[in-house]
Structure 1
Amino acid sequence: MKSSVILLLLWLLLTDCYSQEKYIPQSTNFAEFAIYEAITDFADNCRLFKQDSVFNVHVEDTSRYVTLQRHQGILKWVCDSVYTNILVIEILGKRDKIGYYPNAVVGSKGKLPSKYVIVKGKLFYWRDRDYPLTEEMLSVLKKYNVLTDMIYDGMLPEFLIDDAQKGAHYYFCKNNLLKYKRIITSKAAGYYRPPKLKCGN
């Protein structure tokens, strides 16, 4: 009996791993490789994965840290530090819809997210300004009920901002994308010091 249970658990583990590999394709693109690594870890190991069904993925090519400083009596956000050796991937549950204009048509660039992956039935999407919007991408966004007209009956849609909502930030070493750290926070990336990574030169 025990051996049967062990075999069943091993089978479930193997099929789950196979499914994960199926949904997360391999990529030679630098940023996309980091995106897939982050999504894989997020789906397998982050509790935030269970809280939403649609996730926005954002890429910051260079990590920055800003601080609130007073200049001539006025408080301003000023760039304090720049970390050129760190790539940041942000994953946040999308609870508002994406507003779009009529010019967001198939073939357009930068109007709507143009890349996506579905993991365990949940949608992860991101923008690639060099990649055009496809019919498939548009269909997926509609299927997950992500879109809303920017102007409907002469009114702009309302967008809610939840400052308490937490997201996952992944900090990757650019010279070794297998080295990364995950931070769970309600702050936007750049408004706190990034974690220390031993990236080397």
Structure 2
Amino acid sequence: MDDMRRPIILLLLWFLLVNFYSQKKYIPQSTNFVEFAIYEAITDFADNCRLFKQDSIFYITTLDTLKHYTLQRNQGTLEWICDSIYANILVVEIFGSVNKLFYLPDAVVGSKGKLPSRYVIVKDKLFYWDDDDYPLTEETLSVLKKYDALTDMINDGMLPETVIDDSQKGASYYFCKNNISIYKRVVTNAATGYYSPPKLKCGN
């Protein structure tokens, strides 16, 4: 009898493990390379990064090719010079949203490039990003309004104030393009490209 029950118990344990893993992966799997990296970054950020607790709205940017700059003297003047290009690295950056998005009159449903058109919600927190190939939908616009992420472009004839906080830290995820499962997270307030990137064993 025990021998008959053992496979059933093992099967139940397997289903529980699969269910647990699927719950930890908050975002649906994607066949798009950049989207997949974004989803992986969001999942790790929500589970493992302390910055997740500090805000309720986050915006995401991506760098298809990483460039590294160093301060060098050029004809007596200090300049930031690009000295390295990492074509095999994709960077996904996640920041807490300090400023609201400018809500322009032409940011209508179906438009592209006017407002972030992609989003996901994880643990009641909003993550959004730009996708010029993906039109703004009624659903996305409704979510941005629900989270109070928008502001009118003109208020009493003046542009809204924009807060610039150089001390704000973000999470930068460095992915190997040839193996998306290989990545490292860096939490810093330094701009990407202006510090030494983490070393990744991407192979050929």
Residue equivalent to 1:121: 124
Residue among 72, 78, 101 paired with 2:75: 72
1:176 maps onto 2:175 in alignment: no
How many residue pairs match? The answer is 189
Structure 1, unmatched stretches of 5+, are 1-12
Structure 1 residue 20: deviation in Å?
A: 3.9
1:88 maps onto 2:74 in alignment: no
Residue among 48, 58, 61 paired with 2:61: 58
Instruction: Judge conservation of contact 1:20–1:119 (CA < 8 Å) in 2.
Output: no
Residue among 146, 152, 162 paired with 1:149: 152
TM-score between both structures, scaled by the size of structure 2: 0.87
Give the share of equivalent positions with the same residue, in percent.
71
| Aligned partner of residue 190 in structure 1, secondary structure | coil
Residue equivalent to 2:167: 164
| Aligned partner of residue 36 in structure 1, secondary structure | helix
1:44-88 CA deviation, whole Å, 9 max, x = no partner?
A: 011110000000111111111112233233333221211000000
User: RMSD of the TM alignment (CA)?
Assistant: 1.8
Query: How far apart, in 2, do the equivalents of 1:190 and 1:116 lie?
Result: 26
Greater mean deviation of Cα atoms: 162-171 or 62-71? 62-71
| Aligned partner of residue 187 in structure 1, secondary structure | coil
Query: How far apart, in 1, do the equivalents of 2:148 and 2:42 lie?
Result: 21
Residue among 178, 193, 197 paired with 1:190: 193
Larger Rg: 2
Query: How far apart, in 1, do the equivalents of 2:23 and 2:201 lie?
Result: 32
Greater mean deviation of Cα atoms: 187-196 or 71-80? 71-80
Residue among 33, 36, 47 paired with 1:33: 36
